[in-house]
Amino acid sequence: MTSCVLAKIVIAALPYATDALAPVISEETINYHYGKHYQTYVDNLNAKIENTEWEGMCLEELVKNVPEGPLFNNAGQALNHQLYFLQFRPESQAKTEPSEKMRQKIDEAFGSVEKMKQTMSQSAGALFGSGWVWLESDDAGKLSISLYANGDNPVRHNRHPLVGVDVWEHAYYLDWQNRRTAHVDALWKIIDWSVVEERMPK
């Protein structure tokens, strides 16, 4: 994940064109979500850490250590969105099946890949207000799914974030309106397991 030598927190370059995730995520949504919302979290974070003890610290360390409040909200959202946008690939390129090793871990935790996906969708549907659903791992590689309010992130809770579903309405409302769980089901078409598996604890 992020190295800890960055002097400035910058938004991650998209590894695909802005229209490449359609129809699951439209170009219009990418333009707002990546170009405006994510950029704003990063800009706010940089403004808040400038000339403080936090300046120069990498994003994960910030998310682990800063106090609750506006600084944490923006650091959490900067990390959430970096992981979110980098986990996708166009439908024609995404590796949409987990490796055998990963599938075994999913089976151990949830019974099957299908049940894991159902739990992600149900969790997203159940989250009241704005937040995130994460497939995550502990240090030993045991998987779980957790709900996080607002800008909270698994690294704050000593977990490794693997797959993030943004349940803020700005992530899906232009394309899916109130059909939140249908949106989450469709995300699996563009989630790339080779990226996800790189996030497992080594």
CB of 102 to Mn ion, least distance (A): 26
Q: Is 166 in the site for Mn ion (CB under 5 A)?
A: yes
Q: Is 168 in the site for Mn ion (CB under 5 A)?
A: yes
CB of 37 to Mn ion, least distance (A): 5
Q: Is 88 in the site for Mn ion (CB under 5 A)?
A: no
Cα 132 to chain centroid distance, Å, stands at 8
Nearer to Mn ion, 40 or 118 (CB): 40
Give the whole-angstrom CA distance, residue 72 versus residue 64.
Answer: 9
CB of 84 to Mn ion, least distance (A): 7
Q: Which residues fall within 8 angstroms of residue 16, CB to CB, at 6 or more apart?
A: 88, 89, 90
Q: Which stretch binds Mn ion (CB under 5 A): 5-13, 40-48, 106-114, 170-178?
A: 170-178
Question: Residues 54, 55, 56, 59: is their CA dihedral positive or negative?
Answer: positive
DSSP-assigned letter for residue 155:
G
Residue nearest to Mn ion (CB): 166
Give the whole-angstrom CA distance, residue 102 versus residue 38.
Answer: 30
Interacting residues toward Mn ion by CB under 5 A: 166, 168, 171
